[in-house]
Amino acid sequence: MSEDERNTFHHIVVPDLEKLGARKVVVKEEILSMFRILMDEGIQDVSTGKIVLHLKEPMALGILMATTVEDLGDKRSIFRTLSFQSRVLPFSYDYSTKLRVGILYFVEKEEHAIAQKSFFKREEKVNVELPEQYSKALTPYAVKLSRTLEKFSRKSPMEDTKEKDRLIGIRPKENLMTFLKSIALYHGRTRVQRKDFAEFRSLYRYMNYEFRDIDRKGGCE
């Protein structure tokens, strides 16, 4: 790809992280380290046994990952280090009873056997304006998310320090700001509006590891 072609891509989608969970620890550590670099400063030069990459400019990408409770494991899991958790926005959910019944009906009709195709629109990146009022309003959500990630992660020396030395939510706030912009962009807007913040608040209830029920409309029971 040329530099211009690469600039149109902004995320890697990993639909099933379970396959990674079966690999050796050293492999998982290498891949997650690569993910962290991609999500932060970006990758420019890589030279390993299977990857050789030399770019003029660093390439930063977001990572969309899906996995299961079992793969997240206990606090010994590599996925539960604070350095990794602090870089992600977690979304967890479970199926409500009503939705489980609907899935059974869906299977009965054999609709799941019909081949489906998904298409991603390839568009240039755009800038989305985030008014200061909404940026400030995200602060308590970012701080609360930091506490959630600390609690979920492996035991860290941070847990034994004074309150002022704990995570203050810098990375979570940066991620939430980007997420709020993405909501506006999803609806075709390049400036965040009140309705976008309202939608963010409704989705924030799932930004944890509590696995709350969802129904067919995506509401929380």
pLDDT in tens, 89-128: 999 999 888 888 888 887 877 766 666 666 666 666 789 9
pLDDT more than 70, % of the chain: 82
User: Residue 155 — very low, low, confident or very high, per pLDDT cuts 50/70/90?
Assistant: low
**Is residue 187 scored above 80 in pLDDT?**
yes
Task: Kindly report, residue by residue over 36-72, the tens digit of the pLDDT.
Answer: 888 888 888 887 777 788 888 888 888 998 888 877 7
Q: Please, which residues bridge with residue 66 across strands?
A: none
Other C-beta atoms lying within 10 Å of the C-beta of residue 154:
17
pLDDT of residue 67: 85
Question: Residues 13, 64: contact at Cβ < 8 Å?
Answer: yes
Check residue 79 and give its pLDDT.
Answer: 80
The rounded distance, in Å, linking the Cα atoms of 154 and 174 is 23
1-10, 163-172, 175-184, 188-197: range with lowest mean pLDDT: 163-172
Residue matched to tokens 């690469």: 6
**Alpha-carbon gap, residue 157 to 150, rounded angstroms:** 11
Q: How many residues does the chain have?
A: 221
How is the chain split into domains, by residue range? 1-80, 89-114+124-221
Tokens of 192: 């965040």
What confidence score (pLDDT) does residue 192 get?
97
**Is residue 161 over pLDDT 50?**
no
Residue among 101, 93, 89 nearest 69 (CA)? 93
Q: Which two tokens stand for residue 45?
A: 């030069």
Q: How far apart are the first and last CA of the chain?
A: 46
